[in-house]
Amino acid sequence: MQTKDYIACKIKTGDSLKSLAERIGLNNYKQLQNFHNDICPKTELLQNFEITKGNTLYVPDLKEVISLNNEIKKGETNQPPLKPFKLKLDNLIASYDVTIDKTVTTGVIEKTNKIAYTLNLNYLINKDDLKILRVTKSEFYINKIKPQSKIQRLALFCSKAYYPMDLLLSKHGNIIGINNMPEIKKRWLDNKSNLEANFNGDYAEKYINNVNKKLLESNQLEKAIISDTVLNTLLLPYQRLNKTSKTVFNINYYKYHINLKVSQEVESNDTKNNTLTILQNGKVEDTRSYKDLLNPNDVNNNPFYIKLPKIEGTLNSSYQVNLEQELSTKIKAKYHIDYTTSKSKTTILTINHINN
């Protein structure tokens, strides 16, 4: 270990390098990563900007903070100003390997699943001031294994009717609907009888009926796609336009449309490789409790309604963007939501561009 003056800090839920740097008065949280790596044992090195609850982070004391801030200030005066940049959906053709790590914690019980698949995006045309983006999706793996159980295989075969899916996007890149619903409905009806012949039993019958209702009798599929976490995370740089190095905005997460306030900034600009890194940090700003999410009508209709503590949560994400290709090449996003003191959900998305 080095002889620098430091404090060993236990990482808590919701902590990020940025929030801890702000707490101790350090002006650049990348310096906090560098400081920690100078101090810590090799087994505790931080390879990126992610930190894990329960681990130890070595942070500088006040004297070192002042010294580091002086170094940062000196370095900033020698840096050329960042040029504005913008990503365009037009002509987007890209494939991504997607991995979703979901961990649900209820009390002391923790359940984790890893889902992986390939997503292909193909920009088609502008239509009435809207953009159409075709999405295709490979078969998925659960914990690195192809769907094995009857329930998993049923879900896989039902989902095949959804793709190819033509997303309707606003001119700002927000998902507002599905353009080829008639085609999706036809694919479903063509395969429905085959599904019913191969999957029987009460659960299979109920599942198939629910999918049938979702596609033919309601707009549930469109609602699910509009709030899809993977697609919205992938499209976020296009939605934000990224014209400035720093900005603050709101996003909705998951099917409950939980509101998060997000700050975004350009962390680094690699002019040699024509790439830059965008970092986003956010916190839940939502007055609702978990009970309100499950039963939204109770607030106005239940005379015995009791207000419970509001949900809390954080978002930490990074995007590596290739400016020449005008697309994201590496995305890592971590959504953590505390629904109650004993129930939480953590979703980690890893999305990597496939070089064809």
Check residue 1 and give its pLDDT: 39
Instruction: Kindly state whether residues 337 and 246 are assigned to the same domain.
Output: yes
Q: Are residues 222 and 246 in the same domain?
A: no
CATH code of 54's domain: 3.10.350
Report how far apart, in Å, the C-alpha atoms of 252 and of each of 96, 170, 227 are: 23, 16, 8
Instruction: Give rounded-to-5 percent helix, strand, coil for the chain.
Output: 30, 35, 35
Q: What is the pLDDT of residue 2?
A: 43
Closest C-alpha among 1, 4, 12, 9 to residue 312: 12
Characterize the bridge pairing of strands 312-322 and 327-338. antiparallel
> Do 222 and 113 share a structural domain?
yes
Enclosing domain of residue 315? 240-353
Confidence of residue 64 (pLDDT cuts 50, 70, 90): confident
pLDDT at 82: 54
The chain-wide mean pLDDT, for the chain, equals 83
Residue 96 in any domain: the answer is no
pLDDT of residue 78: 47
Number of structural domains (the chain) is: 3
In this predicted structure, the answer to whether residue 41 has a pLDDT above a threshold of 60 is yes
pLDDT of residue 31: 75
Query: Model confidence over 114-170: pLDDT tens digits?
Result: 999 999 999 998 877 889 999 999 999 999 999 889 989 999 999 999 999 999 998
Residues 73 and 136 in one domain: no
**Which pLDDT score, from 0 to 100, does residue 96 have?**
96
Q: Is the pLDDT of residue 256 over 90?
A: no
pLDDT at 68: 65
Q: What's the predicted TM-score (pTM) here?
A: 0.75
**Residue, of 153 and 38, whose pLDDT is higher:** 153
C-alpha neighbours within 13 Å on the C-beta side of residue 23: 11
Q: 88 in a domain, yes or no?
A: no
User: Stretch 275-296: mean pLDDT, rounded?
Assistant: 87
Contacts for 211 with CB less than 8 Å, ≥ 6 apart:
158, 161, 188
* Candidate ranges 133-137, 197-201, 267-271; pick with highest mean pLDDT: 133-137
- Whether 245 is covered by a domain: the verdict is yes
Mean pLDDT for 232-254 is: 74
Among 197, 229, 261, the domain-final residue is: 229
**Contacts for 261-270 with beta carbons within 8 Å, 24 or more apart?**
261/285, 262/315, 264/240, 266/82, 266/242, 267/30, 267/318, 269/82
Q: Same domain, yes or no, for 120 and 195?
A: yes
Q: Which two tokens stand for residue 158?
A: 């039902």
Question: pLDDT digit string (tens) for 299-332?
Answer: 666 767 777 899 999 999 999 888 888 888 999 9
Share of the chain above pLDDT 90, in %: 37
Mean pLDDT (whole number) for 219-238: 88
Asked whether residue 224 falls in the same domain as residue 173, the answer is: yes
Place of tokens 């697609």: 231
Other beta carbons within 10 Å of 94: 19
Domain boundary among 59, 77, 95: 77
Angstrom distances, CA of residue 191 to CA of 140, 196, 200, 293? 19, 9, 15, 35
Q: What is the pLDDT averaged over residues 189-212? A: 92
DSSP of 102-130: EEEEETTEEEEEEEEEEEEEEEEEEETTE
Tokens 């002006």 belong to 27
Residue ending a domain, among 77, 101, 117, is 77
Average pLDDT over residues 96-100: 96
CA distance 275 to 327: 10
Tell me: pLDDT of 63 over 80: no
